[in-house]
Structure 1
Amino acid sequence: MEPERRRRRPAVSCILCRRRKIRCNRETPCSNCAKSKNATCVYRDPPRPPRPDGPLHPLVGDASQTVQIQTSEPAAMSLLTPASSEPTHHGSSRPPPQHTTALTGSTATSAAASPSPRTYGQPSSRRPAPEQAVSSGPSPANTASVSTFTRDTHVETKTLHLSDFTANYHLHTEHRSAGQSQSQVVTKCVTHKTRLFGQSHWVNAVGLLSDMIELIQRSLRDPMSKLLVMERRCKSLAKVIKARRRPPWPCPPTPELPGRLVCDALVECYLDTSEAIFRVLHVPSFRRDYEAVWDPSRDPDPAFLVQLKLVLAIGAAAYDSTFSLRPYAIRWVYEAQTWLSEPEFKSRLDIPALQTSILLLMAREATGVGEEMVWATLGTTVRIAMYMGLHRDTAGLGLVTVTLLVAEMRRRLWNTILELMLHSSLTSGAPPLITLDEFDTKPPGNFDDDQLTDQEGDDLTPRPDEHFTQTTIAIALRSTFPQRLAVAKHLNDLSSRPTYSETLKLDAELREAYRTLTHTLQACKSAPRSPSELGLRTVDLILRWFFIALHFPFFAPALREAEFAFSRRAAVENALRFWRTAFPHPLSLSDDLADDRLGRIAINGSGFFRTTAVRALVGIAIELQTLAREEQGLSLGPVELRPDLLLAMEDFTVWAWKSLETGQTNAKCYLVAAVIRAQFEAVRQGLSHEDTEAFVFKEAEAAEERALGLLEAIEASGRQTQEDAVLGVGVDDVGHGLDLTTGLSVDWNYLASDAMFSSMEMDPMSWVLQ
Structure 2
Amino acid sequence: MTSVFSLPKGPPPPYVQATHQREHTKVTNQPNHRVEKEIRTSPDRRLSPPFDDNVCSWRGGLKGIFVKDRYFGQSNWMNFRSPFSVVKRVVVKHEFDPSTEVYKLTQKCKAASREIKAQEKIALHMHLASHPSDHVPPREMADKLVQSYMQTFGSIYRILHIPKFEEDYESYWSTPHTGSQAHVVAKLLLVMAIGTVFQPQQEAFVLRSSALQWIYVAQTWVTTPFEKCRLNIEVIQLQCLLVFARLVHDVDGDLLRLSAASLLQTAMQIGLHIDAEENAFPNICPQEIQLRRNLWATVLEIVVQMSVDSGGIPLIRTTDYDCKPPLNIDDVVFKHDMNGLISSQPVDVYTDSSLQAMLTQSLPIRLQIAAFVNDFRYDSSTYEQTMALSGELSNFCASNTAIFQSLKGSSRLPTEFQTYMIELLTHQYLFALHFPYATKAKTNHKYYYSRKICLDVARLFLPRSSQMTDHSYTNLRLWGGGIFRAAPLQAATFIADEMIYQIESDTSSLFTREKNLLDGRKDLRRYVEEYVESTIDRMKLGHTNFRPYVMLSALLTQIDALLAEEPVEDKILETIKDRLIIANEVLRACLPHSPREYAPSDTEAQSYAVNSAVSLQDAIRNNSLNPDYPANSEWWFLSGDVDTFA
Class of the TM-score when normalised by the shorter of the 2 chains: 0.7 to 0.9
Partner in structure 2 of residue 286 of structure 1: 165
Q: In the aligned structure 1, how far is the partner of 2:273 from the partner of 2:438?
A: 37
**Cα deviation, residue 86, structure 1:** 6.8
Selected match of 1:84 from 2, 5, 8: 8
Tell me the equivalent position of 2:19.
none
CA distance in 2, matches of 1:569, 1:762: 40
User: CA offset at residue 92 of structure 1?
Assistant: 3.7
Unaligned runs of 5+ in 1: 1-76, 104-119, 121-139, 154-173, 177-184, 587-592, 724-754
* Distance in structure 1 (CA, Å) of the matches to 2:371 and 2:235: 30
In structure 2, which of residues 327, 347, 350 is the aligned counterpart of residue 465 of structure 1? 347
Contact 2:253 2:481 survives alignment (8 Å):
yes
Within the alignment, does 1:391 sit opposite 2:273 as a pair? yes
3-state SS, counterpart of residue 585 of structure 1: helix
Label 1:705 to 1:252 Cα distance change in 2 as closer, same or farther (>3 A).
Answer: farther
> Shift of the alpha carbon at 1:548?
1.0
Of 554, 570, 580, the residue aligned with 2:437 is: 554
TM-score (norm 2): 0.83
Alpha-carbon distance between aligned partners in 2 of 1:720 and 1:383, rounded to the nearest angstrom: 49
Deviations 1:471-523 (A, max 9, x none): 01101111111221111011113478221111111111111121222223332
SS in structure 1 of the partner of residue 323 of structure 2: coil
Task: Report the Cα distance in structure 1 between the residues aligned to 2:47 and 2:178, rounded to whole angstroms.
Answer: 66
What SS does structure 2 have at the residue aligned with 1:196?
Answer: strand
Match of 1:654 in 2: 533
How far does residue 208 in structure 1 lie from its aligned partner after superposition?
3.7
Select between 230-239 and 431-440 the one with higher mean Cα deviation.
230-239
Q: 1:198 aligns with which of 73, 95, 106?
A: 73
- Could you say which residue in structure 1 is the equivalent of 2:401? 518
SS at match of 1:715: coil
How far off its partner does 1:396 sit?
2.7
Indicate the residue corresponding to 1:744 in structure 2. Answer: none
- Given the superposition, is the C-alpha separation of residues 230 and 382 from structure 1 closer, same or farther in structure 2, using an over 3 Å criterion? same
Structure 1 counterpart of 2:386: 503
Deviates more, 1:457-466 or 1:655-664: 457-466
- Give the Å deviation of 1:329: 1.2
Asked whether the equivalents of residues 559 and 626 of structure 1 are also in contact (C-alpha less than 8 Å), the reply is yes
Structure showing the higher strand proportion among its residues:
1
- Whether the aligned pair in 1 keeps the contact of 2:102 and 2:576 (CA below 8 Å) is yes
Which residue is equivalent to 1:610? 485
2:315 pairs with 1:315: no
Displacement of 1:616: 1.1
**Structure 2 residue 466 is the aligned partner of structure 1 residue 585:** yes
Report the CA distance between 1:394 and its aligned residue: 0.6
Counterpart of 2:22?
none
Residue in 1 that maps onto 2:210: 328
Match of 1:347 among 223, 229, 243: 229
Change (3 A) 1:305 1:759: farther
Contact 1:202 1:615 in 2 (8 A): yes
Separation in 1 of the partners of 2:469 and 2:527? 21
The answer on whether the counterparts of 2:4 and 2:64 sit within 8 Å (CA) in structure 1 is no
Cα distance between partner residues in 2 of 1:720 and 1:467: 61
Q: 1:567 deviation in Å?
A: 1.0
CA drift of 1:576 comes to 1.1
Mark the structure with the bigger radius of gyration: 1
1:148, 1:713 → 2: CA distance?
52
* Aligned position for 2:604: none
- Please list every run of 5 or more consecutive structure 2 residues that lacks an aligned counterpart in the other structure: 15-24, 49-57, 600-612, 625-634, 640-644
Q: Does 1:708 align with 2:584?
A: yes
Distance 2:429 2:552 in 1: 23
Matched, 1:444 2:323: no
Structure 1 CA distance for aligned equivalents of residues 131 and 107 of structure 2: 36
User: In the TM superposition, what are the counterparts of 1:561-572 in structure 2 within 5 Å?
Assistant: 561-572=444-455
Work out the CA distance in 1 between the residues paired with 2:445 and 2:493: 20
Distance of aligned partners of 1:458 and 1:497 in 2 relative to their CA distance in 1, 3 Å threshold = same
Q: Does 1:277 align with 2:135?
A: no
Compared CA separation, residues 717 and 87, structure 1 to 2 (3 A): same
Q: Which residue of 1 aligns with 2:174?
A: 295
Q: CA separation in 2, counterparts of 1:384 and 1:278? A: 18
**Aligned-partner SS, 2:80:** helix
How far apart are residue 259 of structure 1 and its match? 2.6
Q: For residues 49-104 of structure 1, give each alpha carbon's deviation from its aligned partner in whole angstroms, at most 9, with x where no partner exists.
A: xxxxxxxxxxxxxxxxxxxxxxxxxxxx99895221576553546339xxx99x9x
Equivalences for residues 350-749 of structure 1 within 5 A: 350-453=232-335, 457-494=339-376, 497-580=380-463, 583-585=464-466, 595-631=470-506, 634=509, 640=518, 641-687=520-566, 691-717=567-593
Residue deviations 1:708-736 (CA, integer Å, cap 9, x gap): 0111111145999999xxxxxxxxxxxxx
Residue-by-residue CA offset, 1:572-624 (whole Å, 9 max, x unaligned): 121112212xx4527xxxxxx88411111111211312111111122111110
Partners of 1:717 and 1:685 in 2: CA distance: 44
How many Å separate the matches in 2 of 1:464 and 1:503? Answer: 32
Moved more, 665-674 or 272-281: 665-674
User: Structure 1 459/761 Cα, relative in aligned 2: closer, same or farther at 3 Å?
Assistant: farther
Q: Residues 712 and 195 (structure 1 numbering): CA distance in 2 closer, same or farther, change over 3 Å?
A: same
- Counterpart of 2:137, as a letter, is P
Kept in 1, the 8 Å contact 2:5–2:436? The answer is: no
Name 2:87's counterpart in structure 1: 212
Distance 2:421 2:94 in 1: 41
Letter paired with 1:648: Y
Q: TM-score, normalised by structure 1?
A: 0.70
**What amino acid is the match of 2:367?**
L
- Alignment deviations for residues 299-328 of structure 1 (CA, whole Å, 9 cap, x no partner): 371221111110111111111224312211
Once the two structures are TM-superposed, the CA of residue 662 in structure 1 deviates from its matched residue by 1.6
What one-letter code is carried by the residue in structure 1 that aligns with 2:301?
Answer: E
- Show the counterpart of 2:141: 262
Give distance in 1, aligned partners of 2:212 and 2:6.
40
**Count, aligned residues:** 583
Distance 1:493 1:266 in 2: 41
CA contact (8 A) 1:403 1:453 kept: no
How far apart in 2 are the matches of 1:152 and 1:304?
A: 48
Structure 2 counterparts to residues 160-239 of structure 1, below 5 A? 188-220=63-95, 222-239=97-114
Tell me the amino acid that sits aligned with residue 364 of structure 2.
P
Structure 1's 718 and 80: CA in aligned 2 closer, same or farther, altered over 3 A? farther
C-alpha contact 1:80 1:207 (8 A) present in aligned 2: no
2: distance between equivalents of 1:759 and 1:503?
Answer: 35
TM-superposed deviation, 1:251: 8.6
- Percent of aligned positions with the same letter in both sequences? 25
| SS state at 1:188 partner | coil
Q: For residue 475 of structure 1, what is the amino acid of its counterpart?
A: A
Q: 1:497 to 1:345 in 2, by over 3 A?
A: farther
Whole-Å Cα distance in 2 between the matches of residues 152 and 260 of structure 1?
57
Question: What's the offset of the Cα at 1:285?
Answer: 1.7
Contact 1:317 1:366 in 2 (8 A): yes
